[in-house]
Chain A
Amino acid sequence: MSAGPARAPAAEADRLDLAGLRAEFPIFAAQGPRFHYLDSAATGQICRAAAEALLGFETRGRANVKRGVYRLADEATRAFEEARARIAAYLGAREAREVVITSGTTHALNIAAHTLCARLRPGDEILVSQAEHHSNIVPWQLAGERVGAVIRAIPLDREGRLDLDRLDALVSRRTKVIAVTHCSNVTGAVTDIGRIREAAQAVGALLVVDGAQRVPHGPVDVQALGCDLYAFSGHKLFAATGAGALWIRRELAEELPPFLGGGEMIRRVAIERSTFAAPPHRFEAGTPPIGPAIALGAACAWLAGLDWARIHAHEMALAGRLLAGLGTIRGVRPLGPEGLQARAPLVSFVVDGVHPHDVCQLLDERGVCTRGGHHCAQPLHEALGLEASTRASLALYNDEADVDALLEGLEDVVRRLA
């Protein structure tokens, strides 16, 4: 592996206490030095704050929420609602009650699709994009089909970003919902939500944002974004699997019908009909994922206290090192935007003549964890003329050794299989 500018130490990273940061993630001590985790876009590693909160609830404070009158149940309810408030703070929400606890982004977007589509009529349009994760396409198809709504999609531009120059042609008075990713899970391209918001507001459409890939890279301000709903998963935000959130602007949430029916979401039930609780409980049928939600709240609180300017510089320095290094390996072609502007620190790429699963398998020999496949984004891959790709996704805990192990592994892949 030739040394070049891409492998020069990242000056910004020197200012970050990376060793201290990595120590907050128990996985690194458990897995040892030959562990290069570059699959955080699929699942982030759990931080100590979240792990301890989860274990603490399940072993010392476990009870169902909202139902019991005994002390332990009261404390569980208090911890659960505190988690909701911490999540709301991470999102910049006005109030905790704007946050619905879900099982993750997929559940959140299914709530969004089903509750918003209940207001649609035949011929109304839902605008998604070709860059979406299947979770932000299929729920709209399922819910839209019931009411005769039409799904349209914003195409990709030459760089793999959403081609927002096409918005004028795609958005009309028929457009009732626009549902887009904040950040592509394949190209890393960050969407210009402001421009889409203007288009949505011009025709009175509601704006739903899939924030799954954006939230691990720092707190969000949903009010500044100007969207109406915002979804994300806790397991990508360094918390446990099983909990996520859907933020719904308060005035809108009050108007929307429930999605799932059951306990907790009602005001009164009779055999003939029922009335429903106010948000967010209207959208939280059944026992919520209490422990994972408390862990998510703990992760949000811990993350909110970090120096994100430094972390951003660190993440993007690594992304730059990765992009530059990929460019030096014969037959390796990164996808998505060429530079670091408006992109998250994740890079997908193809290796000419080598299937992504074979790439990932050989990288695993070196302890390099990457993901191969369509990443639940088949329309995006089709738009790029591909079936699949290999993805390396970075998070705050990655270091230069992770990137270099990947690059050296890829050179070996090319040598052996290309």
Chain B
Amino acid sequence: MSAELYDAAIVATAKETANAERLPAPDLTVEEDNPLCGDRITLDLAFREGRVAAVGHKTRGCLLTRAAAVVLARRAVGADPAELRRAVASLRALLAGQGGPPAWPELSMFEPVRAVPSRHDCVLLPFRALETALDRRERERPA
């Protein structure tokens, strides 16, 4: 199982966090911790005309957390909040072994994590930060 968790795609994707940068002037910044291990993501989002215009992040975590952060940062740009929430829901469904293919094809790389429940939170950490950011945006900018 671990061999699948650490396949080339996840390892290579995780390494991209080395190039990640924070946004100079984000509309929203959210910090989310994994209380089990102290892993942390600081996620910046900038919006334009109701869609994500830019994503920045600083991620301190395991390979799974870092790979998830990279996928999120790559795919969130251009998406509106409804699409982002669908992506989060599809990732949760993938980890639970429910539903069809994930909203973003890259999320399929996390399929092997389904069998290791103790690592689900690692993959979900960046997406929990995204949800917190979207919740806060809705509270601050009611429709």
Contact = CB atoms under 8 A, between A and B. Distances in A.
A387 B38 contact: yes
A362 B2 contact: yes
B2 A372 contact: no
Nearest to A388: B37
Contacts of A364: 2
Interface residues of A, number: 17
B36 A358 contact: no
A194 B117 CA distance: 44
Contacts of B2: 361-362, 364-365
A365 B3 contact: yes
Interface in A355-398: 355-358, 361-362, 364-365, 372-374, 378, 381, 387-388
Contacts of B36: 373
A374 B61 CA distance: 12
Interface of B: 1-3, 5-6, 11, 36-40, 60-64, 116, 119, 122
Given A355-B61, A388-B39, 8 more contacts: A355-B39, A355-B62, A357-B119, A357-B122, A361-B2, A361-B6, A373-B37, A417-B6
Interface of A: 355-358, 361-362, 364-365, 372-374, 378, 381, 387-388, 416-417
B62 A358 contact: yes
Given A357-B119, A361-B2, A365-B3, A387 B39 contact: yes
Nearest to A372: B37
A364 B40 CA distance: 24
Nearest to A366: B2
A34 B68 CA distance: 32
B11 A356 contact: no
23 contacts: A355-B37, A355-B39, A355-B62, A355-B63, A356-B62, A357-B62, A358-B62, A361-B6, A361-B116, A361-B119, A362-B2, A365-B3, A372-B37, A373-B38, A374-B37, A374-B38, A378-B38, A381-B38, A387-B39, A388-B37, A417-B6, A417-B11, A417-B63
Contacts of B62: 355-358
A128 B3 CA distance: 42
Contacts of A362: 2, 6
B29 to A, nearest CB: 20
Contacts of A372: 37
Nearest to A365: B2
Nearest to A374: B38
B18 to A, nearest CB: 11
B65 to A, nearest CB: 8
B19 to A, nearest CB: 16
Nearest to A357: B62
B140 to A, nearest CB: 31
B6 A358 contact: yes
